[in-house]
A and B are shown apart, each in its own frame.
Chain A
Amino acid sequence: QVQLQESGPGLVKPSQTLSLTCTVSGFPISGNYYWVWIRQAPGKGLEYVGSVSHTGSASYNPSLKSRVTISLDTSKNQFSLKVNSVTAADSAVYYCASPQLEFSFDVWGQGTMVTVSS
């Protein structure tokens, strides 16, 4: 059974870089599937941030593309998210997830709240 767990700082200063890691257990991330970041700002809906395939090919939400990097670390069975030049609008619960059932997200991490504030 695949399990995901987010980790990273809960507080980031404006203009700095938000960095999160998702640790995957129960399946090798290089084996198959996409590995995805999704966020939900307070009072807002779910927003697709971006994804990375098991081969390391990344794709991003066009609204965030210039500031986001998602990558794999197969040695640690983790994938990571970096968002540059953050503002308060980047404050959100960040989820890692994997669409393993007909490109639907059947596997989720528990989510981690990140606040951008000085």
Chain B
Amino acid sequence: DIQMTQSPSTLSASVGDRVTITCRASQTITRYLAWYQHKPGKAPKLLIYKVSSLGSGFPSRFSGSGSGTEFTLTISSVQPDDFASYYCQAYDGSSWTFGQGTKLEIK
């Protein structure tokens, strides 16, 4: 199974900052790499799918990129509603794996 290493585990930012979260996979991922936004008490929401496609309802300040074993989620200008936890997720053809998560906190 693929192992996903996500960093950092915690990220402190101010409104307006540009932030980047990274996920590294233990083996090459073709295209099934997703990112989720998760707020307490709610189900996670699909933020990015297939590496760089934006999920329904999310603004364009969110973007995903990468290839092979290294992938990034970027928020170009953090807004108050963005403070949440973020998870990457890979699918290897038979199983799904999540990264450990990144908590985006207010600085």
Contact = CB atoms under 8 A, between A and B. Distances in A.
Do these two chains interact?
A: yes
Nearest to A47: B98
Size range of the interface on B? Answer: 20 to 34
B34 interface: yes
B43 A99 contact: no
A106 interface: yes
A45 interface: yes
B95 interface: yes
B87 A45 contact: yes
B62 interface: no
A36 B91 CA distance: 13
Contact of B43 (A36, A104, A111): A111
Interface of B: 1, 31-32, 34, 36, 38, 43-46, 49-50, 53, 55-56, 85, 87, 89, 91, 94-101
Interface of A: 36, 38, 45-48, 51, 59, 61-62, 95, 97, 99, 101-106, 108-111
Given A45-B99, A95-B44, A99-B96, 20 more contacts: A45-B87, A45-B100, A46-B36, A46-B38, A46-B89, A48-B95, A59-B94, A101-B49, A102-B31, A102-B49, A102-B50, A102-B53, A103-B91, A104-B34, A104-B46, A104-B49, A104-B91, A105-B36, A105-B44, A105-B96
